[in-house]
Amino acid sequence: MHHLRTRAVHAGQQPDPVNGAIATPINQTTAFGYGTLDNGAALFAGEVKGYRYSRFANPTVTALEAKMADLEGAATAVAFSSGTAATSAIMLALLEPGDAIAFLGPLYGGTESVFRSLGARFGIEVIDASERGLAASLTPATRLIWVETLTNPTLQLHDLAEIAAIAKAQGITTVADNTFCTPCLTRPLDHGVDLVMHSMTKYLGGHGDATGGIVSGPEQHIERIRKLGLGQLGGNLSPQDAFLFLRGIKTLPLRMAAHCEGAARVADFLANHAAVAETHYPGLPSHPQHALAKKQMQGGYGGVVAFEMASGGRQAAAAVLDHLALFTQAVSLGDVDSLACHPATTTHSVVPAEVRAKYGIRDGLIRLSVGIEDPDDLIADLGTALAQSSTGPKGG
């Protein structure tokens, strides 16, 4: 098998058979001619493969799905218009009223909101297994377990192999949101997880100009998710966005290396600054799960760093955020541009305050998405901003 950098460029793509174009064409069409009545009937009955309507499948999107299935080591994949559309499709396709979904938090606030709102509406129990532990939290009704390979925003890890073993012993399907790590750093299916999903909007696209989600895994699960998520909910990805993701993924391994290098430098700077009480980054030896990160992650520890101000809470966080120049205040992450946000009032504002407190998402917490700029410039920018609420580096 070729190396990841090679597969990121070539997987799922071939020169166009008509004109030899190397870049996958944007098949900007709603419908596809199927020739004869009998062939159309066979297509709609699923007896033959082919394209009929872009809500169900489109050649540009198919190339993207093939590329991501290859990178994640999966049999197949299905793409959606957003990560939230992918999350909703998984939940509704694989669960029935009376079933339960268990998760290990903290999760992205939008994901937890989807679980709780759809769960309440459709009679699905939602179990937060974070406090009691996964094994102790499962019930006979549990059909799905959800984890993030790096939790948002405090960058905790879960032992994927252990989770998969617990789930398999009880016949429960596991899902890992791999948005923060990408297949460059973690491949959940290699650890026994059943399904892996991404908000492609982040690192896979990498340039902040396309919104999408994708789920990779075995045929039997993916086809159920495809049928409901695309055929019934209509959450299909546009061919233009698929083209942008195909282009972005070609440079994913190179970009992730730069993100990881910059984040490691930024994390080390923050960990030694007097104004910072705690720095969350799995690459730091002080991280409580650094040993697990070394085992479960390859090639780096990600491009996201979170830190908590030593004093002042929201006011201190605002003083830093409002004085940043190279870090743009914005949600999302994984762009080549560096971004910064205040999770308690943005990405996790829909999470109740008591739940945020339990997860350590306090008012003084800042999340950074480190881009591909020179780390020295980013550190200087942070130093200037931190000076608004501190006396300078420790020992300085």
Q: What tokens does 289 get? A: 């799960």
Q: Is 255 a catalytic residue?
A: no
From the candidates 5, 7, 52, 55, which is the catalytic residue? 55
Q: Which amino acid is at 232?
A: Q
Q: Is 394 a catalytic residue?
A: no
The burial class, CB within 10 Å (0-12 / 13-18 / 19+), for 113 is middle
Residue 360, C-beta contacts closer than 8 angstroms, at least 6 positions apart: 106, 154, 308
From the candidates 177, 335, 363, 381, which is the catalytic residue? 177
Q: Is 108 a catalytic residue?
A: yes
Q: Is 247 a catalytic residue?
A: no
According to DSSP, the residues that pair with 125 across neighbouring strands are: 100
From the candidates 108, 203, 281, 359, which is the catalytic residue? 108
Residue 41, C-beta contacts closer than 8 angstroms, at least 6 positions apart: none
End-to-end CA distance of the chain: 51
Residues comprising the chain, all counted: 396
Helix%, strand%, coil% for the chain, nearest 5: 40, 15, 45
Among residues 157, 216, 151, 209, the alpha carbon closest in space to that of 183 is found at: 216
From the candidates 202, 255, 362, 367, which is the catalytic residue? 202
According to DSSP, the residues that pair with 305 across neighbouring strands are: 368
Q: What tokens does 101 get? A: 């979904």
- Residues noted as catalytic: 55, 108, 177, 202
